[in-house]
A and B are shown apart, each in its own frame.
Chain A
Amino acid sequence: MFFICFSCTNEKVDTYSPTPSALQIPQLFGDKIINPVIPFDNPQTVEGIALGKKLFFDPILSADNSQACADCHKPENAFTDPDRFSDGINGTLGTRNSMPLFNLAWNYDEAFFWDGRAFSLEHQAFNPVTDPIEMASTWPEVEQKLQDHSEYPTLFNQAFGTSKIDSSLVTKAIAQFERTLISSNSKFDKYLLGETSLTPQELNGFNVFMDENRGDCFHCHGSENNPLWTDNLFHNNGLDAIITDLGLGEVSGDPADNGKFKSPSLRNLAFTAPYMHDGRFATLDDVIDHYSEGLQDSPTIDPLMKKVAQGGVQLSPQDKADLKAFLLALSDYEFINNPAFKNQ
């Protein structure tokens, strides 16, 4: 905490400068991929992150003070919701599965949500507060509640140098906290760093993942050279023959984008069931069966989907089991148990 005090004539003015807190870039990320995106007008600071964390866990952001971001983005689930569709404050269910939150600063195109409709984390955070099926509040109401609160005005002053609370500062603080949610300590990461070894089953599963003749997952979901385990791009991975949720197509207006959704990261799958944008698959076995024999053809299906006419890549039972073992080795238990990410 640094207070720089200087007096002009008779008045004493306290200028508060928050403490910079650079993102801790994990070794593999620093070695393999380019730097994360941090907007120049919202640098990471100790005070901003702490404030963002408090807001993230505080139901004050919802209309009836009953729901926090963390209710649909639970730390123990890698910040997603184990329910297929989340309950909003009014008990209304949405139509999309919540999304896990980690390594968000490495989403270089900054397109958030399943369909990419929000540009930047700061803008994304405006949405849930006013979404009628989520927190169903209004920003003037939230600003007023925070302003009247016993602690928040001071915390905003410490983070941003003003105790006048407005929505853009709320979203900036939340975004700072979200950028600190870094997951880089899975078993597979440790294997790459030479700190542990994989079982033969996990190794074969990795080969299935990388083999164009078997899983061919790497074209969209990364590899040992891309620790994000996603391309953060939008694809139709063959879920439906008839597309009802247009996904990216709704946002771009281009029918060629219908049924395209953001490739999720394959980190932390042990904690993030159910799977896909609508949470249709309860288990990883269901997901693997989908790619193996459940593909549905549609005009926008990605050309990278293989053997669509036969339903998919036709993995053997052994390869399926090994692929699953490999995928689970991308789960990061230190991440979900990190006290810095939990509500105290």
Chain B
Amino acid sequence: MNKIASIIFILFSLLSCSSDDDNNTVSFSLNFSHNWDGTPVTNADFNTIKFTNAEGDQLSIERLRYLISDIKLEKSNGETIIIEAYNLVDVTNNQNLIFSPTATISEGTYSKVSFIFGFKNEKNLDGVYPDLNTVSWNVPAMLGGGYHYMQLDGKFLNSSNMEQGYNYHAIRAADNPGANPTFPQDTFFEVNLGSVTISNNAVFNIEMNIAQWFKTPHTWDLNVLNQMLMPNSAAQIMMYDNGQNVFSLKSVDQ
């Protein structure tokens, strides 16, 4: 949904006290691009079976959107900036591929820049973000409520060579669906972009290799795992495992 400002709250918390304040402040943004093992992917590549996963399944993508939150920049002196915002990257509609927090940061070397894929549990509260409710990003209360982390939908050629739908929906893994679901392990994760030196307004060019979701450590067989994966906590944990190698920082423009 185009007109939705992607941030409804930016709590900008500077957790440091001892920083030297002579530094210039600059703005920065995250620019998300997507590839399939190195071949760029945009929504123009959607709706045709043109990708092959590690298992050898041929597949298409019809819809891809995912949520990132809590960007964190840490300096070796302990100075830490956390930008408590979130952004729903919507590749299908080419929206929010660039996320520009309103907060500024100081120049210098950050030993670690990271963000969260999905929401940390304490942010993953049911129904509290109107812009995400508006785009039906919710997770049913019986699975713990809150929000999806990712929706990757498409078709694959199944073992009878017929097109079949798949819904690779990543959420917080839950067991015992119902009034009191339990949570076997966390499935949001931190994406560590490594160390970055900022000398000017900066654009972090972040790549998602979509093929990795199907690759390591779990070779994903779409004939086995295709739909109804939200209530399948084992599948959620596999998504979490495979997600560890999905993102990388390609470059920083400044």
Interface residues of A (CB under 8 A from B): 31-34, 37, 108-109, 207, 210-213, 216, 218-220, 222-226, 231, 256, 297, 299, 301-309
Asked if B133 and A109 sit within 8 Å, CB to CB, the answer is no
Chain B residue at minimum C-beta to C-beta distance from A257: B47
Query: B residues within 8 A CB of A309?
Result: 162, 164
Asked if A34 and B131 sit within 8 Å, CB to CB, the answer is yes
Consensus secondary structure, chain B interface: loop
Instruction: Encode B17-44 as 1/0 by CB contact (under 8 A) with A.
Output: 0000000000000000000000000000
Asked if A213 and B127 sit within 8 Å, CB to CB, the answer is no
A223 to B126, CA, bound (A): 12
Known A34-B130, A213-B228: A303·B3 in contact at CB below 8 Å: no
Known A218-B136, A304-B165, A309-B162: A225·B153 in contact at CB below 8 Å: no
Query: A residues within 8 A CB of B227?
Result: 212, 306-307
Which of these, A109, A218, A307, A308, contacts B138 with CB under 8 Å? Answer: A218
Which of these, B136, B162, B164, contacts A222 with CB under 8 Å? Answer: B136
Please name 23 pairs of A and B residues whose Cβ atoms are closer than 8 Å in the assembled complex, sorted by A: A32-B133, A34-B130, A108-B2, A108-B3, A108-B4, A109-B2, A211-B177, A211-B231, A212-B229, A223-B136, A223-B140, A225-B126, A226-B133, A226-B136, A231-B136, A297-B163, A302-B62, A303-B153, A303-B167, A307-B227, A308-B164, A308-B165, A309-B162
**Is B134 engaged at the interface, CB distance under 8 Å to the other chain?**
yes
A245 to B165, CA, bound (A): 23
Report B108-166 residues with CB < 8 Å from chain A CB: 126-127, 130-131, 133-136, 138, 140-142, 153-155, 162-166
B91 to chain A, nearest CB (A): 15
Which of these, A31, A216, A231, A299, contacts B135 with CB under 8 Å? Answer: A231
A-B contact count (CB 8 A): 86
Interface residues of B (CB under 8 A from A): 1-4, 46-47, 62-63, 126-127, 130-131, 133-136, 138, 140-142, 153-155, 162-167, 177, 227-231
A211 to B135, CA, bound (A): 19
Known A108-B134, A223-B138, A226-B136: A301·B165 in contact at CB below 8 Å: yes
A278 to chain B, nearest CB (A): 23
A207 to B177, CA, bound (A): 10
Chain A residue at minimum C-beta to C-beta distance from B46: A256
A153 to B3, CA, bound (A): 37
Query: A residues within 8 A CB of B162?
Result: 309
Chain A residue at minimum C-beta to C-beta distance from B62: A303
A204 to chain B, nearest CB (A): 12
Chain B residue at minimum C-beta to C-beta distance from A299: B163
Query: A residues within 8 A CB of B165?
Result: 301-306, 308
Query: B residues within 8 A CB of A308?
Result: 164-165
The 4 A-B residue pairs with the shortest CB-CB distance in the complex, in nearest-first order: A303-B165, A256-B47, A225-B127, A210-B140
The winner among A31, A32, A297, A303 for most chain B CB atoms within 10 A is A303
